[in-house]
Structure formats: C-alpha cells, structure tokens
Amino acid sequence: MPGAARDQTMLRRANELTVLAVLRDGTPRVMRDIADQTGLSWRTASVVTESLEGHGWLAGTEADAGDKRLGRPARRYRFRAEAGHVAGIDIGAHAICVYLADLAGTIVGMHRVRVSPGEPAADRLAAAEATVQAALDAAQLGNADVWAAAVGTTGIVGLDGVVTKSAVLPGWTGVDLGGRMGALLGRPVTVANDSNLAVLAEHWRGHRADTMIYLLVGVRLGTGLVIRGQLHRGAAGAAGEIGEIGEIGWSDAAQRLAAAAPGHLADLDGAARHVFAAARHQDPAAVAAVDRFATDIARGLTAMVLTIDPDVVVLGGGFAYAADLLMPRIDQRLGETCPHSPRLATSRLGDEAVGLGAVRLALDTVEQRITGLSSGTPLTPAAISASA
C-alpha cells in the first residue's frame, strides 16, 4: 500500500476508534455532540459515524423535536452493546456460576449450580461445561455470539490457562482450564486466579481505587492486585501469592482459628462461624483466636502493603461477614509497621466479585482486539468475533 494511502487508512481507523470510545458509555448523541466530544470536524464525524452504523457498531434513531436543526430531524447514535457478548465463569469450591454480558458489561444472563468441595476434577469440569451451556440456552445465545470468555478459579493459575497449584480442589492441579473451556466455546479463553478477578471487579464496579489489594479471607487466604489501574498478575500469574511463604502462617490460619470451636468441629466454615459468634459475646478463648487470626492475616498483608502502597484493601471471601471483628485488628497491626496505612473496606460485590471480574477480563480482551485490528481490515463486529 502506498504511503499516502496507508496514512489515510490509519487515520480512518484512529477516527473510528475515537468515535467508538465516545459512544461506548451508552449515551445516545447527536452528530454535533459527537463532533464536539471527539474533536473531529462535523463532516469527518458524520462520515465515520455513518460508516460505523453501516458496519453494525452503532444504531441511529430520530432525535426528539428539541434536537432538530433547521427543520431537518437530527439523529441520535448509540453504541450497539448487543452486537456481541462475553462470558465470565466462576469455578469455585461450592458453586459454579456463569455470567453472560453484552459489550457494555450489562449482565444479560446468569446460571449458578452448587457443587461439593470434594467433587472430583472430572465431575467439576463436566458441571462447568453444563453450566455454561445452560446459561447460553437461557439467554438464547450460541457459541458464535460469545466473542471472549474468562474463567476464575482457586489456586495459582499460569498465563497459559493451566492450574499450576491448587490445595483446595481435589485433582485440580495441572488442569488445563483454558483448553477445556476454549474447546467448549470454540475460541481462546483466559483463566485467572479468583482473587485476581475479584480485585478487577472491585476496581471496575466496586471501590474503583487506582491501586488496591483484594484480600480473600476464608478457609484459605489470598490476594489480588490492581496497580495503577491495571490487574497485576506478574510474569507467570503468581503475583500476590504471599501465603506460599510458610513462616507467614497463611496456609493453616483458618485451621488455627477453627481449633477454638468446641469439639474441634471438622467443618472449618461452621467452626469459624462459631468462633466469630463467640468472640462477639466476648468469650476469652474466641477473642484470643480472632486476635491470632487477624495477626496472621496482617503479617502477610503488611509485606504487600509495604510493597505496593495501595489506596485501599478490600476484604472479601467466605469470612467477610466477620469484617467488624477483623478489620479493626488488622488496621491496628498495619498501623504499627506501615508508614501509610491504607483504608480498609469490605467488598461491595460479595460472591459476585469473581464472576464479574471474569466478565471484565473478557471485555478487556475484546477491547484489545478492537484496538489491535489491522487498519487494513474493516472494523466490523464480524471481524472482531473472528479475530479470537
């Protein structure tokens, strides 16, 4: 392609992306507003907008009477979020949940099933596949309608979508989740640790801090990191796995907490709930156990706070109901060491955090395809769907 023609092609693509960026917020706009907010001339904005409408990215409707110009009806243009969809899949110890969203991140379908923590890996995978299919069927969508998908699960997950270590789910270490879910949907699937996706969701629809730590507190402890607005997974997907340092005491912190329950209840969740309830009634043994648990948490969290200096630490997970007991104790211990002690807050998304984070990660994949599409290839929804 001659240089001048190539420059024109690249300029056209830049203008298309600029118009899409303005309209992606879902607010319909007349041409004058599109031109003003993109900085393009009215003529250029008109040509680009009409082209995007023709490709199926935008929908135009007649504006109301107040927006007419010189007797000619103005048109409002909106982004067609329904042009494509993404899937967010949360494969946990107790439940599998699939969220389907349009390109604006609006949830258009959800399906959840309960599973047992002791479920064999093959059965858990089969349940995940069935849950994905049930969600698609309920939303009347097919595989071709899903442009991108992401999966969240427990354990350390490599950037290749393989679970490299899982101490919670039997047979889960070594499972190629990306390959298995990708074969189901017919396109590459991104897989990440559940805490990573939870922090991404909190950044998107929760506390929205620029730099933050998600602290998963339950029968296991874990963290996810957003640094300067970006999910930080590290070189191999293991960033934030501070609990791998045995001396910190995260691996068996919940067991030590539960040991304070009468009869040493085998069910860690139930035993922990009993201890927290007793601590609220000032039972000395329970208070001491909660103090130890908070100290265990703070030991690892302090190292991470000193490393990335977050704006906020968001507490979520199965023990989030005990935030009233844990957060003051953790805050006190952080303040004893950290020059800047971050704000502590509870998750605003609860048990939806991982699934919504998977949706956000899938949307990010779509964004990367849109901006990375060759300027010589027409920017159409079909091209983005096919570029997986």
Query: Where residue 38 sits, what CATH number does that domain have?
Result: 1.10.10.10
Buried b (16+ CB within 10 A) or exposed e, 4-39: eeeeeeeebbebbebbbebbeeeebbbbebbbeebe
- Are 221 and 291 contained in the same domain? yes
Mean pLDDT of 52-81: 80
* Residue 156 within a domain: yes
Domain end position, chosen among 50, 79, 108: 79
Q: Is 142 exposed, middle or buried (0-12, 13-18, 19+ CB in 10 A)?
A: exposed
- Are 116 and 175 contained in the same domain? yes
- Are 194 and 296 contained in the same domain? no
The DSSP result for 189-217, as a single string, is EEEEEHHHHHHHHHHHHSS--SSEEEEEE
* Cα 261 to Cα 269: distance, rounded to the nearest angstrom: 11
Q: Does the structure show a pLDDT above 90 at 190?
A: yes
The structure's pTM equals: 0.93
What single-letter amino acid sits at 320?
A
- Are 195 and 90 contained in the same domain? yes
C-beta atoms surrounding 3 within 10 Å: 7
Task: Classify the C-alpha dihedral 386-232-297-201 as positive or negative.
Answer: negative
* Cα 367 to Cα 357: distance, rounded to the nearest angstrom: 15
**Are the C-beta atoms of 65 and 74 separated by less than 8 Å?**
no
Mean pLDDT of 296-316: 97
Mean pLDDT of 185-212: 96
pLDDT of residue 69: 52
* Residue 386 within a domain: no
* Residue 319 within a domain: yes
3-state helix, strand, coil in the chain (%, to 5): 50, 20, 30
For 125-181, the pLDDT digits (tens) are 999 999 999 999 999 999 999 999 999 999 999 999 999 999 889 999 999 999 999
- Are 177 and 260 contained in the same domain? no
Q: Is 188 exposed, middle or buried (0-12, 13-18, 19+ CB in 10 A)?
A: middle
- Are 214 and 339 contained in the same domain? yes
* Residue 107 within a domain: yes
Nearest CA among 63, 124, 138, 43 for reference residue 90: 124
Q: Does the structure show a pLDDT above 90 at 72?
A: no
For 199-248, the pLDDT digits (tens) are 999 999 999 999 999 999 999 999 999 999 999 999 999 999 999 999 99
What single-letter amino acid sits at 367?
E
We report the CATH number of the domain holding residue 133 as: 3.30.420.40
Mean pLDDT of 98-102: 99
- Are 74 and 91 contained in the same domain? no
Mean pLDDT of 70-88: 87
Report the number of distinct structural domains present in the chain: 3
* Residue 235 within a domain: yes
* Residue 152 within a domain: yes
pLDDT of residue 45: 97
What is the extent of the structural domain holding 165?
Answer: 84-199+352-373
- Are 195 and 232 contained in the same domain? no
* Residue 29 within a domain: yes
**Are the C-beta atoms of 105 and 150 separated by less than 8 Å?**
no
- Are 193 and 306 contained in the same domain? no
pLDDT of residue 66: 55
For 273-295, the pLDDT digits (tens) are 999 999 999 999 999 999 999 99
